[in-house]
Amino acid sequence: MKRVAILISGGGSNMLRLVESMTGDHPARPVLVASNDPAARGLDRARALGISAEAVDHRPFKGDRAAFEDSLRAVLDAHAPDILCLAGFMRILTPGFIAAYEGRMLNIHPSLLPKYKGLHTHVRALEAGDAEHGCTVHLVTPELDDGPILGQARVPVMDGDTPESLAARVLVQEHRLYPMVLRRFAEGGRELPLYT
Ligand code: GRF
């Protein structure tokens, strides 16, 4: 059975879908939900499901990323995860931290990578007049939002869309795609990306 740790910064709706999917004959189980923000709503949601939830507040480290990450790694490694899932985790990780979990750290990003790496993806897709938008699950590498793609889901951009309405349509696909990709990854599947 693969052990999965999930990192969040906010409400954790993706985290919840991942946790809910890891039941029955699923080859993995959640062992920890961790956050850089002690006030992240997702921590209480994880605790309500009986999952260990811990916070390592990044603010007291005053920008010392290495020190913050050392503390985060200590919390993570105490749960010996096989797989890490970034789910709305908003801290940029250093190459050193990424190297420690190389090839087993996944992230979900709300755009059709390689388009719109970074922030404000929905505004940028609307400003560009795109007909399609979506989300991507990829392996995390030192280059931000650049790792090998494991899966993508597409949505139409509709007339009258706002960043909020588009984000909501993409989030529905995120909640479908991430559990599908995690299951396949935990089963050892490394074949072609999943397109839905
Ligand atoms: C999601 O849209 C995710 O793609 C992005 O941050 C949002 C987090 O949502 N990185 P939640 O915390 O999983 O609800």
With 80 as the cut, is the pLDDT of residue 132 above it? yes
Mean pLDDT across 157-170: 98
In whole numbers, what is the pLDDT of the chain averaged over residues? 96
43 lines ligand 1 (CB under 6 A): no
How many angstroms is it from 63 CA to the middle of ligand 1?
23
6-23 confidence digits (pLDDT tens): 999 999 999 999 999 999
Ligand 1 atom having least distance to the Cα of 109: 4
pTM of the model: 0.96
Mean pLDDT across 84-94: 97
How many angstroms is it from 88 CA to the middle of ligand 1?
4
With 90 as the cut, is the pLDDT of residue 79 above it? yes
With 70 as the cut, is the pLDDT of residue 111 above it? yes
Question: Of 167, 161, 141, 12, whose CA–CA distance to 87 is shortest?
Answer: 12
- Is domain 2-189 given the CATH code 3.40.50.300 in the classification? no
Nearest CA residue ID for atom 5, ligand 1: 88
pLDDT level of residue 190 (50, 70, 90 thresholds)? low
How many angstroms is it from 25 CA to the middle of ligand 1?
26
Which pLDDT value is given to residue 193? 73
Would you list the domain boundaries of the chain? Answer: 2-189
Mean pLDDT across 167-174: 98
pLDDT level of residue 192 (50, 70, 90 thresholds)? low
Which pLDDT value is given to residue 191? 62
Q: Which of 42-46, 175-179, 192-196 has the lowest mean pLDDT?
A: 192-196
- Kindly write down the DSSP assignment for every residue of the chain, as one continuous string: -EEEEEEESS--HHHHHHHHHS-TT-SEEEEEEEES-TT-HHHHHHHHTT--EEE--SGGGTT-HHHHHHHHHHHHHTT--SEEEESS--SPPPHHHHHHTTTSEEEEESS-TTSS-SS-HHHHHHHTT-SEEEEEEEE--SSTT-SPEEEEEEEEPPTT--HHHHHHHHHHHHHHHHHHHHHHHHTT--SSPEE-
